[in-house]
Amino acid sequence: MNPLHLLIDGQLVAGDLDMDVINPATEALLCKSPRASKRQLDAAIAAAKKAFPGWRATPMASRAALLEQVAQRLETNVDELARLLTQEQGKPLADARGEVLGSALYFRHFSKAELPVRVIEHSDSRHVEAHRLPLGVVAAIVPWNFPLILMAFKLPAALVAGNTVVLKPAATTPLTTLRFGELVADLFPPGVLNIITDANDLGAAITAHPDVRKVSFTGSTETGKRVMAGAADTLKRLTLELGGNDAAIVLDDVDVKAVAGRVFKAGFANSGQVCIAIKRLYVQDGVYDAVCDELARLANEVVVGDGLAPDTQYGPLQNKAQYEKVKGFIEDARHSGNIIAGGSTQAGPGYFIRPTVVRDITEGSRLVDEEQFGPILPVIRFTDPDDAVARANNSPYGLGSSIWSSNPQRAYRLAEMMDAGTVWVNKHRELAPGIPFGGCKFSGVGTELGERGLEEFTQLKVINIAA
């Protein structure tokens, strides 16, 4: 693998430091990644600040046209990026290709964005307009489960709105983002896009930096709290997409086989390492046993292995810390529930855990009350749907949820009662660039995607003129 570089002020540069990147399927060293020093972080922020006036003055149509070129670069280099993503993150190659192409879709969506002046009032007494202006330097901090697509939740909206950006990928998955930076570096004026990496040691400096006007962060709730605290002194704008413990409620009128298959995919995609994966499955009495049996059958049949192998359906956990955490959940589940599929690691190297289904479990256990972020799903029995909603809502999290029923009216009534930023009906985990996404309670602050997500990268300015 050729050495990769940071992107600072339009230049591809070596890191002052370096760090190991481990392939989670083999536990072998994949490569040495460049790692930015505090000096290089400050240089990236300074470059973004210097570039802001010129980028802000660039017509929005011209900024948008560059996003279309980014989308084309992603599509042209999909094979290279997908292979690199699989090697550092672990997901199957087909899923990695989908992530690269999905990222292109998000850039292309925002290449068509507009921020028109909106007339609030035009009357005999006043003329009032609402303008949307860029904020300045935006820090975009991305986690390790979806390094590219979650970058694409932030970067195109921030750039098209006229902000300059310092982008920081996760310490365990920096490579695909760095290669992306190399591929698009020539498209932007120097300083408009900067990419630095760290070993989880520069986050506090970013959130406290006086020249950063907004932080867009995706990650754990506990880290999100630290981001919010660090941003307080400078009153930064924040978008925080944080942890979730998504509940799905399956009613007794469903087609068990069809629903179980979709629920399985929504719970175990990316080996459960998805913020909006189904993490608690509530199933009504009448179909409880049948749903459990079908989920167990599906779990026992899947192929778990190296994401580069053509038959692999589910890859490893991304890093050793998460692997050990999920093993702890499994051990706890042996005492609080009944493991009917999985529950085991695989022999040999790699952070592999088979999809695990746990029945006869309820609230009060770690697996139900906490976010596991791995391939282990608790299946909880209920009798009364209203009671299931109350139990699902009794959580500090509120990112996503879903209702499954053959009766749309019955499902809609329950969906209205759920405490979550998104409630799906007869599906789960569906996102699109034009649909706003955000959580409530401990699952986040603010919104990404859609018109509302774009506006969160802007400052509202009202011009109020006397008649």
Q: Answer yes or no: do 235 and 260 share one domain.
A: no
Whether residue 241 lies in the annotated active site:
yes
How far apart are the C-alpha atoms of 3 and 105, rounded to whole Å? 28
Catalytic residue among 241, 371, 448, 456, which? 241
The DSSP element (H or E) to which 369 belongs, if any, is: helix 366-369
pLDDT of residue 2: 86
How far apart are the C-alpha atoms of 217 and 185, rounded to whole Å? 23
How far apart are the C-alpha atoms of 202 and 454, rounded to whole Å? 26
Q: Answer yes or no: do 235 and 257 share one domain.
A: no
Q: Answer yes or no: do 28 and 64 share one domain.
A: yes
Assess if residue 312 is contained within a domain: yes
What is the crossing angle of helices 60-76 and 93-110, to 10°? 160
347 burial (CB, 10 Å; 0-12 / 13-18 / 19+) is exposed
Q: Answer yes or no: do 226 and 253 share one domain.
A: no
> Which residues, 6 or more positions from 365, have their beta carbon under 8 angstroms from its beta carbon?
332, 333, 336, 337, 378
pLDDT of residue 347: 86
Tokens 């493991």, residue? 339
CATH number, domain of 336, equals: 3.40.309.10
For the chain, how long is the longest CA-to-CA vector? 78
Assess if residue 1 is contained within a domain: no
Whether residue 301 lies in the annotated active site:
no
> Which residues, 6 or more positions from 159, have their beta carbon under 8 angstroms from its beta carbon?
63, 66, 67, 165, 188, 192, 193
Residue 174's domain comprises: 6-242+443-466
| 320: its two tokens | 């050793």
CA atoms in the 13 A half-sphere facing the CB of 207: 22
How far apart are the C-alpha atoms of 30 and 50, rounded to whole Å? 36
How far apart are the C-alpha atoms of 215 and 73, rounded to whole Å? 26
pLDDT of residue 395: 98
Assess if residue 16 is contained within a domain: yes
pLDDT of residue 356: 98
- Output the DSSP codes for 217-280: EES-HHHHHHHHHHHGGGT-EEEEE-----EEEE-TTS-HHHHHHHHHHHHHGGGG--TTS--E
Say which amino acid occupies 228.
M
> Which residues, 6 or more positions from 321, have their beta carbon under 8 angstroms from its beta carbon?
none
Q: Answer yes or no: do 219 and 254 share one domain.
A: no
Assess if residue 437 is contained within a domain: no
| 427: its two tokens | 């599906």
Q: Answer yes or no: do 38 and 184 share one domain.
A: yes
Say which amino acid occupies 361.
I
Q: Answer yes or no: do 318 and 202 share one domain.
A: no
Phi and psi of 205, rounded to 5°?
A: -65, -35
Assess if residue 127 is contained within a domain: yes
pLDDT of residue 6: 98
Assess if residue 82 is contained within a domain: yes
Q: Answer yes or no: do 99 and 199 share one domain.
A: yes
Q: What distances in angstroms separate CA 151 from CA 140, 303, 396, one per listed residue?
A: 8, 29, 26
In the chain, count of helices (H) and strands (E)? Answer: 16, 22
How far apart are the C-alpha atoms of 318 and 176, rounded to whole Å? 14
CB 121 within 8 A of CB 464: no
The DSSP 8-state label assigned to residue 437 in this structure reads B
Count of domains for the chain: 2
Catalytic residue among 88, 275, 294, 456, which? 275
Assess if residue 151 is contained within a domain: yes
364: left (phi over 0), alpha (psi -120 to 50) or beta: left
pLDDT of residue 1: 77
Q: Answer yes or no: do 36 and 132 share one domain.
A: yes
Q: Answer yes or no: do 237 and 254 share one domain.
A: no
What is the crossing angle of helices 285-301 and 256-268, to 10°? 60
CATH number, domain of 193, equals: 3.40.605.10
pLDDT tens track of the chain, all 467 residues?
789 999 999 999 999 999 999 999 999 999 999 999 999 999 999 999 999 999 999 999 999 999 999 999 999 999 999 999 999 999 999 999 999 999 999 999 999 999 999 999 999 999 999 999 999 999 999 999 999 999 999 999 999 999 999 999 999 999 999 999 999 999 999 999 999 999 999 999 999 999 999 999 999 999 999 999 999 999 999 999 999 999 999 999 999 999 999 999 999 999 999 999 999 999 999 999 999 999 999 999 999 999 999 999 999 999 999 999 999 999 999 999 999 999 999 889 999 999 999 999 999 999 999 999 999 999 999 999 999 999 999 999 999 999 999 999 999 999 999 999 999 999 999 999 999 999 999 999 999 999 999 999 999 999 999 98
pLDDT of residue 346: 85
pLDDT of residue 178: 98
Q: Answer yes or no: do 328 and 224 share one domain.
A: no
pLDDT of residue 445: 97
Q: Answer yes or no: do 274 and 205 share one domain.
A: no
Assess if residue 214 is contained within a domain: yes
Looking at the DSSP assignment, which residues form a beta bridge with residue 165? Answer: 138, 193
Q: In the chain, what is the straight-line distance between the N-terminal and C-terminal CA atoms, in Å?
A: 66
